[in-house]
Amino acid sequence: MAQLTRSKSEHPSYALGWHTIPLKGRSQQAFFTVEDEGENFVYPYAIDVDFNKRIEFDAANLEAPAINLKIRELMEQGYGWIVVKNPLAKHSLGVGILNRLKLDFEGSLGYFGVGVIDGPNIRIKGRVGWSCAENMMSGTVVIEKNAGSCFGAAIRGGDLVCKGDVGARTGIDQKGGSIIVGGRTGAFSGFMMQRGRMVVCGDAGKNLGDSMYDGTIYVGGSIQSLGVDAIEAELTQLDIDWLTRKLALFDIEAKCGIRNMKKVVAGKQLWSYDNLEPAEKKLVL
C-alpha cells in the first residue's frame, strides 16, 4: 500500500485541507483532512445570512464582476434571499458562493454561471450557457429553460436540474451529486463520469457514458449510442424509489414512466479498475 507523507512546504491551502499528498507510485489530491470532513465544515469566508431578508437588484447595466461583488456585499449585509433581475446572459455570474443562500436570476446566464458553489439554492428563470455549475459541491441549482454544453462539468455534489434540453458533454467528469434533465441531452454526456447520478428524461445523444468509471445514468428516451465501457443494467426498486423521489421534488415528469427508464453503468473493463499501470495491464491482458 502506498505511504502517505505530508509535503513539507507550507501553503495557505492547508487552512482548507486542499493540499497535495504525494503517494508512492502515483500522486493524488486530498481535498479535505479527515477531521475537517463532515457536516460541520464551514469555509473560513462563508457568510451567515438570514433567509427572511429579501432584496432585488437590476443587473442590466452592471458588468459580471460588479454583479458578483454586489451579491457578496448583500450577503455580508445579511440578505439570505437575493433576486438578480436582467442578467442578460452575462458570463460567470453567481460563482464561488460557499454558504447557504437563496439566489434567483430572473433571466438567462452566459458561460460558467453559478460555478464552484457549495451550499446555495439557486433558481434561474431562463437559459444557461456552457459549463453551468461547474465543480458544484452542494446545494441545488434549477434552470427553468435550456442549458448549453458541459452542463454540470465535474460536479461533486448537490442537485443540478435543467427542465429543458441540454447540450453536449453533460456531466463530463461528474464526481458526485445528481444532474437531472427534463428534456434531451447531447453527445458524449457522462463522459468520464466517476460518481453520482444523471437522469435524462428525454433522448440521449451518441457515446453516452463514454469511458465512465462509475456512477449511474438513467435515460427516459432513446439512446443514440453507448460510449466505450458503458453498458445497460437492470433498473432496481431502489433506482425507482430514488427517481420517483427526485423527479417529484423538482416537479419533473418522465413521460415514458419511471419504470421504463434505461439504466446505464460502467462495464468496468478499462485499465482504471485495478491497481495496475497501463503497461502492467497490457502484460496481464
Partner 1 sequence: MCGIAGIIHRGAKANVGGEMTSMLKALKHRGPDSTGFAVYGVPQSGELVLRFKVAEQDDLKKGFEIHGAIERRRATVDERIRGMGGEIIEADAVTEYAFRYRIRFTGDMRKFADFIEDVEGAEILSLGSSLELIKDLGDANTVSNQYSLGKFQGSHAIGHTRMATESDVDIRSAHPYWAYPFHDISVVHNGQLTNYWNGRRDLERRGHRFVSNCDSELIAVYVADKLQRGVALEETLARSIRELDGVFTYLVATADSLGMAKDTMAAKPMVLFESDDIVALASEEVAIRSVLPHEIDTYDPYDEEVKVWRS
Q: Which of 81, 188, 191, 218 binds partner 1 (CB under 8 A)?
A: 188
CB–CB of 103/121 below 8 Å? Answer: yes
Contact characters 221-260, partner 1, x per CB under 8 A: ----------------------------------------
- Interface with partner 1: number of residues (CB under 8 A): 28
Task: Find the binder of partner 1 among 18, 57, 70, 91 (CB under 8 A).
Answer: 91
DSSP class of residue 57 equals E
- Work out which of 80, 94, 107, 190 binds partner 1, going by CB under 8 A: 107
Distance CA 274, CA 285 (A): 13
* 247: exposed, middle or buried (Cβ count in 10 Å: 0-12, 13-18, 19+): buried
Beta strand ranges found along the chain (DSSP E) = 19-22, 27-30, 50-58, 79-85, 102-106, 118-124, 138-143, 159-162, 175-181, 195-200, 216-219, 230-233, 262-266
Give whichever of 75 and 219 is closer to partner 1, judged by the CB atom. 219
Which region, judged by CB under 8 A, interacts with partner 1, from 11-19, 45-53, 105-113, 263-271? 105-113
Q: Should residue 123 be labelled a site residue for partner 1 when binding is judged by CB under 8 A?
A: no
State the Cα–Cα distance between residues 204 and 202, nearest whole angstrom. 7
For the bound state, the minimum distance from the C-beta of residue 106 to partner 1, rounded and expressed in Å, comes to 8
Residues 149-178 that bind partner 1 (CB under 8 A): 149, 164-169
Closest by CA to 153, choosing from 182, 111, 184, 123, is: 111
Residues that bind partner 1 (CB under 8 A): 60, 88-91, 107-108, 110-111, 126-127, 129-130, 145-146, 148-149, 164-169, 186-188, 205-206
